[in-house]
Structures are given as C-alpha cells and as structure tokens.
Structure 1
Amino acid sequence: MASGTSQSGVGRVIAGRYLLLNQLGSGGMGHVWLAHDQQLDCEVALKEIVFRDPGEAAQDRTARVARARAEARHAAGLRGHPHVVTVHDVLEHEGLPWIVMEYVAGALDLRALVSRRGPLAPAECARIGLAVLDALTAGHERGVMHRDVKPANILLAPDRTGSPYARVLLTDYGISVQPDGDETRYTRTHVIVGTAGYLAPERTQGGPPTAAADLFSLGCTLYYGVEGHGPFDRDTGLATLTAVLLEEPRPPLRAGALEPVLAAMLAKDPVHRITAARTEAALAAIVTPQSPPRPRLDPGSEPPWASGTPDQAAQGRGGRRRRLPRLLLGPLAGLLGFVLLGGGAWYALANLPGAGDGQPYGRAVGLARPLKDGDCVQAVWPDAPFTGTPRLTVVQCLGTTTDGQVMTVYEAGSADEARTTGGTQCEQRTEETREKLAAVRTYAVIPTGDGFDAAGRRVACLLLGTTGPVFGPLGRHREMGMRIPDTATMQKQDCLDRVSDHSARLRPCDGPHGERVLGFARLSPDTTFQQARDGKAQEVCEESLPPQDYGYDPGGHESAFWASKSAWKTTSHYVVCTVRPQNGGTMEGDQV
C-alpha cells in the first residue's frame, strides 16, 4: 500500500486508540487508512465503511456492515498465512465497523504496479500466481471463497532483504463467503457481487461461488499482470460481462510459457477448467523450469519485480513454436497445443539447422566464432527491435556503444535440446542480473544443427537493452571504480559516487560511497527531460521508493535520482532512484 495524500479525517482517533495519519486508498466498501496504534505504538491499516448514498436502503446498509464483519472473520481464520494480509481486530466506532489490519509498508497493488511500470514477465507473474493460489487454497480448505480476486486485491511488498515486491499478499475478503455454511450471504438483491472482467462465467449467471470460480478470477488477474489489460476488457461493464460469458479471451501477446496455463484457467465451463493442483504444478514449472542433465543450475533467489516496460510481444520470424515440457502436457492435454517457450524475456530461438557454413549460429546472426562469457555486442535487427533475428557483431565493452553483453554460456546435451530449452535456460541464468537492471531483456543465441559443434555445444545468453544501448559492461562484468556513463548500466543496490550530472563511479558498498540505488521509476510519456530534472523525477522517487521503506532513517537520509537523456530519446522515460545522506556526507556498509 503506497501512502496517498492526506484526506479529510486525518487526526481523528478511532475507538480511543487509532490515530488516522493518511488515506491509503478507497474501494467499493470504503476507505483504507494508515493509522497509529497509540497503545502498541505501531502502524496499522484501518478499513472504514463508508455509505456514499444517504438514501441507501437500511437493509443494504445492514448487509454491507455484515459483510465487513464477515471479512474480518474470514481473514482472521487465515491469520498467519504468509500470503494473506493479517486481520488483527474488528471494532465499532460511531455505529459503524472498522477492520484493523496489518499495515504492509512499501506495497503496491498489482493493478497500480502494472499501470506504473508496465506488464510483468511471465515467470514473475507465475511466481505471484503461485503465492495467491496458495492463499486461495488455504481459504478453500476452510470453505471460504474469496469471490473478488483481481489485481487491486493483490499486494506486492518488499521482503526482509529489501527486495521490492518480493512479498505477495491477498487482501480484501469483504465479499467472501462460506457457501456450505449457515451464515447469511451478504449480497444485495439482483446484484452480482464481484468485479466485471474478473468474474467467472457461471457467476455472471447467478451460479454459486466455488473454488473453480476463484481460479477463473485468478486466471484473469494473471492475464492482466502479463498483458497489461484484462482478457475480457471492454468499454462498459455490461459489455465486459457479456464478453466473459460469450467470448473467448483476447489472444495474449506477451504470455510466453504462461499462455497455456491461462487458457486452461479461463475455460468457460468449470467442469473443464484446470484444477488448483494442476495449476500449481504448471506455474511452478514456469518459475523453476526443469534443467538439462548438465550443468546444474543454482536455484538463486526469489525473483523480484522485473523492471522496465516490455515492448509489444512479437514472435521472431526465425523462431518456432515449441512443445510444452512433459510436466505441463498432462494437465493441459487437449487444450493447449504448441506454445512459445520462455518466461518474460525475448528469445532468438533462431536459425534452422544447416543455415550458414562455418557460422555457428547461422547466416542471420553472422558470427564466425562462438560467443564467450563477457563478450559485448552490437545488434542490428531486420525490422523492429526483438522482431526476427538480429545480426550480431562483437565489440569492445568500453569506449563503444554496446547493445548488450553475454552474461553466461552453458553446454547443451544436443542441438535439439539447445533449441527446445535454450530460451528458458537463459532466462533462468540471467534472472538475477536482469531483475537488477532497468531496461534489458534476455536473448538466447542458439547454435544451428550444423554449427552445434563449432559453437562448442554451447548456448550464449545475452542481456540486450530493450529500448536502446546499454553503454558498457553489465552486472558482474563491471569493475569497481569504473565510470558508469549512463543509467542503463546502473543496477539495484549499486553504491555510487557522483562524477557529474551525467556519470558516476561504481564503489564497494562496504566502503565510503555517496548514494545507493534503490530501484527505478517510470515517468509519464509526456514528461520532458527538463521537467524530470526540474522536480518530477524527485517527486516520483520520493513517492514510489521512499528510503524509509528500505530501513533508512528519514531524519538523516533523503531521496535522490539519476536521469539520462538516453532514456528520453528512446521514450522509456525511467529514472534511477537512490538514497543519500541529507548532510552531503558519505555512507558506508549497511548503515541506515
């Protein structure tokens, strides 16, 4: 929950205990406030029931109050679940209920995050889906259906290490229900309770809430996460509900390996819809694909938010549709067919076998020798970036404009295995570095059948700038003390000293440094570079990545930013947000 601007009501004390600090957001049932618990001296979130229509029927008001009490009861039953927002208490103040909940510092809901930064990578979306599915399953086992799974009800927050959006939390059980219980269902007459575009078809026809209906809503939510819009979005609510009932979802463009799972979750008939257990297996296979026998892949850390807004997806002309791994064929048999492998990255699953004598990757790529770890390249695309197969040229990493760098190479068991798993393997192997950079994508350079041995039986995994050059070495290929000429090579948790308004030096974080990178923020497309430097960038960084959310004392630290003209020339319009001492001194180690 990102703190919003203060609203009328700030300073009120609720039930003699909770001091309202500012409004965090609003929903169908009322407002959510950040409040200070004066007894326990801590921050909490309070949900306030608001009746916006003075003429609302008394029975409707009673039903909404009862629904609020039900939310507290249902969510409290899931207390302690790692992916459910904790409910501490429900109380009455001036005749209306207030729900006291865990305050999740530094969180954004999925809708706000996608709106601000663009669609997620498929593997990241699958990770979020696994967490939400775990929360839903815990509720279903207690007989509680959520009934309103949607992007706005999924919070993404930093974990204990400070990794942004690593925690996934399901919230708002305000319309949840136990269909087999004796309690009253708090739904007004002739009103479908839920959100248009995320309701299952059977629910739009008045059918009962079920676990299968929640699963359909989760499918719509994950579709939104990876595509940036809902599968049934239309201009009006009625048109959207009609599309849910009668039309197929829009074909996804960015979903990659997530596409068949979404298709199975969005089956119109709940009898034919994929089960929760099979959904879990399918999502897990995307988050952690099966590795070939050699070499083994270190598991790495839980993936954080994939920075940068993806370009519109387009399958490479030299690419092929690949068959699903065996783990997914069982759950999705008869529904899915062929899909493009690979998570959120773009891949060059290029070059048919036998293309290009003496060229390990074929004539289109054009290299006469195999790529090795650390090689920097320039990429010339035949049409638009990430459409078709690029012609690659190896260049010096420093002193030239580079489009990307080989982050790793790995040995495949066969040419066919390289073609089948190269994209997914490269995404996994570059994930840690990719997620720390603002605007890069993974690209797997696959040997041809005839060039497999000439390539050393290896696949090369590139990171390429999504909207322009990267201006130098990336990730672990950078050296301490080197001058960083552009924001494109700055990464999360970098420690820097400013050289000028345009460049910095990379410093060890356990030694003196002037500032530390917290993350990236994207400004609106109509923001000029001068407006960014004159205050817009500072404002966005203070709002979206406040240092206090990362453990820094607000009394001694402040937000700062970096903005480069290259980000405006390529229309990506992102800035690097940092933290620095207010007194202009230096930081050292983990000092907060």
Structure 2
Amino acid sequence: MHSGSPTSGVGRVIAGRYLLLNRLGSGGMGHVWLAHDQRLACEVALKEIVFRDPEPTGDEREARVARARAEARHAAGLRGHPHVVTVHDVLEHEGLPWIVMEYVSGAVDLRDLVERRGPLAPAECARIGLAVLDALTAGHERGVMHRDVKPANILLAPDRSGAPYGRILLTDYGISVQPDGGETRYTLASVLVGTSGYLAPERATGGPPTPAADLFSLGCTLYYGVEGRGPFERESHLAEVTAVVMEEPRPAQRAGALGPVLQKLLEKDPVRRPSAPEAEAALSRIVTPEPDSFARTQTDLGSQPPWAGVSPPPPPPPPGPGPAAEGLRSDSLGAGSFGSSGFGPVVVPGPPPATHRRSGLPRVLRAVAAASLGLVLALGGVWYAVAHRASGDGDGGSKSPYGSAVGLTVPLKDGDCVLADWPGARLQGTPRLKLDPTCTSGPPDGQVMAFAPAASADEARKLGAARCEERTQEIRERLADVHSVAVVPTDAGFEAANRRTACLVVGAHGPVYGPLGDNRKLGTSFTHTENMQRRDCLRTQSVRSASLVACSGPHDEQVLGFTRLGKDVTFAEARTESDAACARDVPPRDYGFDPSAYASGSWTSQGPWKSGTHFVVCTVRKQNGGTMEGDES
C-alpha cells in the first residue's frame, strides 16, 4: 500500500464526510483513494487532484479545479451506463478538487492484468472491446470524446453472475472534451493530451479530438491486451509518438481472428478506419462466431491466455443447517490473542468472484491471479438462465407468476426468504423456489431485497436482470459471498407478479442462514457468519455467540470486511489462524483505527468450510477488551 502524504493520508476526513481508508492508485492528475462515506455508511472512490507544483499559480489551480468539474460533468452525463464508472459528485476541500466516484469492488485494470497474467485470448479481447466501444459511443453521441483510452483506464471486475472479469468499465474522463460544446479548454495547445503510444496520429500532430481518434486508441488498447505490449511501444515517449505518426504497428503474432480488426482500427488515415457500428459488428463476430464461419474465426490455442486451461472446481454439496453458532468465534479471539497488524493478500487461491474486497489494488491483483477462466465460463450463464426463460413458460398467470420451472403460486414480497433447488450446479439454470416463512427453518438460500418494475413482460425479460444488479449492489457489497438473481415473470404471470421482477440476494455457495440487511432485527443472535455484513456492530456473548446491536451504543466490535483461508485449511485450523489472517489482510489501521488501541478480531462458522469458500469475517475491537462507543469508527 502506498502511504499517504501528510496532508492527504489515511485517516483524513474530506469535506467532513469521507474517511480515507487507503490509496488505490495514482495517475497523471492525482491519486484515487478508497474512502468510507460516513453519512451513507458505504465505500466510495475519491479522486484527489494533485498539483505538480507545491505552490501552484492561480491560473494552474483554477484550471485544475475547472478540469475536475468538467470530468465530473462529462462522466455524470453517462451515469447509469453499464460500462462507465459512475461519478457521484465533485467537491472542493481546502481549496483542492475531489471527485466522488463509484468504488468498483474487486476491480483490476487491463494493464495490470496482462502484466501479471499474460496476454488474453482474442475472443476475450474482443469482448472487452465491445464493452469499451459501447461506452465510447454513448459519449460520442453526447459530443464527449474520451481522448485517453488505454489499458490502465479499463477496469475488469466481477459481474452480476460472479464471473471475475465479467464487468468491464471505462474510467477517467479527466481529459475528455466536447469539441463543439463551447466550453473552455483546460490544456495548453502546445501540450499533447493523451498517452504516448495510444494517441491517434492526427492527435499527435495537433488535429482535433474525434470519435475516430478514440477508436484508434481502442485499437492500440486491444492490441496490448492480445499481444502483451503496445503496437508502438518504444524506449521513450518521444519515440512512441514518432512511431505512431511515422511507422506501421508491429505485426500482431497472437491476435488470430482479431488481427484484421486491429489492422483496420490502426489505420493512419482516420477516414479509412471503421465506424463504431462496423467495429462493433466485427468484434461481435469474434465473440459469437456464426456457425458457418466458426472454423475461420475460432482462436488458435496458442493465443489463449495462460489460465485458459484451468477448469472450475466441482460444485460442493449444499451445506446443512448444522448446529446453531457452531464454531462461530475463532478460539484465539476468545482467548484474547490478536494477530499482528500488517498488509498482505486479501484473497487466497480459489475465491468465489462475488466476494467484495475493501483493500488496496495489489491485493486485488493477487485475487485476480487466483481466479480461472473456467470459472468465467461456468458462471457466465447464470443471469441468462433466470432472466431469459421462454416467455411461454407457465401454466396460468395467476397460479404461477414466474412460470412452472420456478413453481411459486404467489408473487414474491419484499423480505421473503426462499429455498432454492437448482437443476444442476448452484447458480446455473432456473431454480425452483420455495418460501421459508421464518427465514431460519431451511436454512434460507436467499432473500428478496428489491424489485424492478417494468412496463411489459418483454421489458422485464430484457432489463430485469440488470436492474436487479443495480438495486442489490449496496447490500451485496456489504456481504462476503452472495450473488444477485432476478426472478422474472412470464408473459402470462406478469400481472400476477405485480408487473415487476423480484430481485434476490442468494448465497454464492450455500445458504445465507438468516435475514439480510435491514431485515435483521437488533438484538438478533448470529448463528452463522454468512449474514454478517460490513459495518455491523456486535455484542459478544461468548466465543461462540454474538448479536447485532446499534453502532450508536456500546458494542464490543465492528465488522470491517472479509478474507479467505486456503482450501487446505481445516475448520479447526481456521479457528486459530483467522485472527492473524484478518490482522494481515484487513488491518483496522486502514479504516482509521489507532493500532495502539485497537486490534483485529475474527469470526468463523462451518458454513463456508462446508461449501469450500473458507471466508472469515474480520472485525476490530479494543485491545483492552473494553466496549466501543458511538461513532468511533
């Protein structure tokens, strides 16, 4: 982890609201921090605009502040786009601009992924290209050019099905511009705007920003993804700019079917480059080859990424309810022994991709290194199977709102707990659901946490899954091992389902063992760790029992996050190792707690060990065993 500067380091509160937790990365304009929004009790990313000159002139300060506002405005105009990082706000703190953005949990940028894992398969690069192209086109339609498309500005994160790199996001509109928007330019005419080696030739020679220039940069980016280096990579920035203008790109060696697309995108003459629709069509044919062209477009095994041959583990048997609170607290915590604070990898090999981490980028990279393409393929169809059933499925709308496969005869209500019987592996196919009225007897596999209204059954089929993903994001980010599942009404059952899709949050590898989120009542005892969530405050009755209490009153500890232990670690071993793992991976000091007064604690239960996920709940508590009060955190 990078240490913060004296004026903007870990533990500082920005604008009286955002507690800086740790630095996620740095770029040409400043630093990006993970921060806790103390008002809304959620994590966000804060972009700090840093001046190169410790005492900038009034003109430079004004330009930087204005540029930050412009970035926020441009990105906010694309709010809600599935492939653009959401910008929430722009603010000034002590005279400096800060941009409040969506925190993309579990994200890694394309540059770092390729550096650590090797080049990607052509089809995977094409899939990334389609998503980025969609984001760019949305901006171009608003007159906004990105001007800095490059691998470091493309984030890959777990998607709604849990695929590790399924969600693709374009970020950093810091130098974007609306050429015809009449707005003030905040870059000097004599300064190249963009990244050498990824600039379009016409931009490198002073031409205006255009959609074609962004597409050239996209071509360079996809070339990097499939080849492992840029098409104009040289020993210096000047040499790279010269190569962009004067030389042809290096011939691609691993691009396979993607090669012809790259060649067209990297045309020197912008008029000869494909349009966005043409590029989209070409990339789509690589991602989903037509049957008669599959032999021509399937990728050469020699160009597959290093991890392509790894198969996903077989699904574990569903865990039973087990004895209440069995092994909930690690023995070492009960004995008052705490691991030393440190900083290490958050996730060990084999983590389920839906887990949301609150740690620095190096840990996330190690987590990505442990995932496999096999898991991407195994989980890639979860949403399609549930949200895109044939509309004719059903045996009468009023009797079966969601069709005969789901089996419910009444519409789901907010807070309903369900038992899910999957036709095959967990989270694959359409589950048959049964209500669990007590939310404890099953134990429940999940709970209805939101609804997504629709104007028609067709709209529900097309948009219900994405809307559920959005509506359940906040609660999923607080839990360790869950997915979102959309229960979509059939045509015949649309009215009976109250014209809406039910949004479930379900355990990724096993039951959730009780209510989730605000459905939990204060004073309720936890029987398992699966429904503990970030920022929960706990009252500890014993080493095997804890209850949920209000954070405004006395409490013994607070949940900070989660980590995982190795697949070979037994549950008995976990009860002695989990404290040290939490102190290493989720140190309280990263959340603003004084290490001289606070230390790590941990909770474990048998559910994650039966399912093979081996996650541990990490907490903070006082070293002297005293209670924590009010808003200390």
TM-score by length of 2: 0.53
- Equivalence for 1:251: 251
Whether the 8 Å CA contact 1:143–1:180 is kept in 2: the answer is yes
Give the match's secondary structure for 1:159.
coil
Whether the 8 Å CA contact 2:351–2:564 is kept in 1: the answer is no
What pairs up with 1:146-161 in 2 under 5 angstroms?
Answer: 146-161=146-161
Give the match's secondary structure for 1:518.
coil
- Equivalence for 1:263: 263
The Cα shift of 1:199 comes to 0.4
Whether the 8 Å CA contact 2:289–2:298 is kept in 1: the answer is no
Could you give the per-residue CA deviations for residues 436-455 of structure 1, whole angstroms, max 9, x where no partner exists? Answer: x9452xxxxxxxxxxxxxxx
Shift of the 273–555 alpha-carbon distance from structure 1 to 2, 3 Å rule, reads: closer
Matched to 1:7, the amino acid is G
CA distance in 1, matches of 2:561, 2:40: 23
- Identity in percent: 65
Give the match's secondary structure for 1:587.
helix
Matched to 2:207, the amino acid is G
Whether the 8 Å CA contact 1:6–1:21 is kept in 2: the answer is no
Shift of the 264–46 alpha-carbon distance from structure 1 to 2, 3 Å rule, reads: same
Matched, 1:559 2:565: yes
Shift of the 223–37 alpha-carbon distance from structure 1 to 2, 3 Å rule, reads: same
Whether the 8 Å CA contact 2:106–2:364 is kept in 1: the answer is no
Shift of the 340–256 alpha-carbon distance from structure 1 to 2, 3 Å rule, reads: farther
The Cα shift of 1:5 comes to 4.7
CA distance in 1, matches of 2:119, 2:82: 24
Matched to 2:230, the amino acid is G
Could you give the per-residue CA deviations for residues 400-423 of structure 1, whole angstroms, max 9, x where no partner exists? Answer: xxxxxxxxxxxxxxxxxxxxxxxx
Whether the 8 Å CA contact 2:352–2:481 is kept in 1: the answer is no
- Equivalence for 2:97: 97
The Cα shift of 1:560 comes to 1.5
What pairs up with 1:379-418 in 2 under 5 angstroms?
Answer: none
Matched to 2:564, the amino acid is E
- Equivalence for 1:469: none
CA distance in 2, matches of 1:560, 1:237: 43
Shift of the 31–494 alpha-carbon distance from structure 1 to 2, 3 Å rule, reads: farther
What pairs up with 1:232-311 in 2 under 5 angstroms?
Answer: 232-292=232-292
Whether the 8 Å CA contact 2:108–2:368 is kept in 1: the answer is no
Whether the 8 Å CA contact 2:113–2:365 is kept in 1: the answer is no
Whether the 8 Å CA contact 1:157–1:165 is kept in 2: the answer is yes
Give the match's secondary structure for 1:241.
helix
Whether the 8 Å CA contact 1:120–1:226 is kept in 2: the answer is yes
Whether the 8 Å CA contact 2:567–2:612 is kept in 1: the answer is no
Whether the 8 Å CA contact 1:129–1:222 is kept in 2: the answer is yes
Unaligned runs of 5+ in 2: 323-347, 354-361, 372-476, 483-529, 533-559, 570-601, 616-633
1:345 to 277, 297, 301: 301
CA distance in 2, matches of 1:73, 1:122: 34
Shift of the 587–561 alpha-carbon distance from structure 1 to 2, 3 Å rule, reads: closer
The Cα shift of 1:517 comes to 3.0
Whether the 8 Å CA contact 1:63–1:188 is kept in 2: the answer is no
Matched, 1:508 2:341: no
What pairs up with 1:513-552 in 2 under 5 angstroms?
Answer: 517-518=350-351, 541=366, 550-551=481-482
The Cα shift of 1:516 comes to 9.1
Count of equivalent residues:
366
TM-score by length of 1: 0.56
Shift of the 510–169 alpha-carbon distance from structure 1 to 2, 3 Å rule, reads: same
What pairs up with 1:548-587 in 2 under 5 angstroms?
Answer: 550-551=481-482, 558-560=564-566, 582=604, 587=609
The Cα shift of 1:186 comes to 1.2
Unaligned runs of 5+ in 1: 293-324, 327-338, 348-433, 441-487, 496-506, 521-536, 564-579
CA distance in 1, matches of 2:171, 2:216: 17
What pairs up with 1:68-87 in 2 under 5 angstroms?
Answer: 68-87=68-87
CA distance in 2, matches of 1:17, 1:186: 29
Whether the 8 Å CA contact 2:75–2:87 is kept in 1: the answer is yes
Shift of the 341–168 alpha-carbon distance from structure 1 to 2, 3 Å rule, reads: same
The Cα shift of 1:77 comes to 0.3
Could you give the per-residue CA deviations for residues 339-359 of structure 1, whole angstroms, max 9, x where no partner exists? Answer: 974236349xxxxxxxxxxxx
Matched to 1:177, the amino acid is V
CA distance in 2, matches of 1:92, 1:538: 30
Q: RMSD of the TM alignment (CA)?
A: 3.5
Whether the 8 Å CA contact 2:162–2:352 is kept in 1: the answer is no
CA distance in 2, matches of 1:201, 1:210: 12
Question: Structure 1 runs of 4+ off > 4 angstroms?
Answer: 509-513, 537-557, 580-586, 589-592
Shift of the 494–186 alpha-carbon distance from structure 1 to 2, 3 Å rule, reads: farther
What pairs up with 1:125-204 in 2 under 5 angstroms?
Answer: 125-204=125-204
Shift of the 175–538 alpha-carbon distance from structure 1 to 2, 3 Å rule, reads: closer
CA distance in 2, matches of 1:97, 1:34: 16
| Bigger relative contact order (CA 8 A; separation at least 6) | 2
CA distance in 1, matches of 2:49, 2:363: 35
Whether the 8 Å CA contact 1:24–1:32 is kept in 2: the answer is yes
The Cα shift of 1:168 comes to 0.3
CA distance in 2, matches of 1:231, 1:201: 13
Give the match's secondary structure for 2:67.
helix
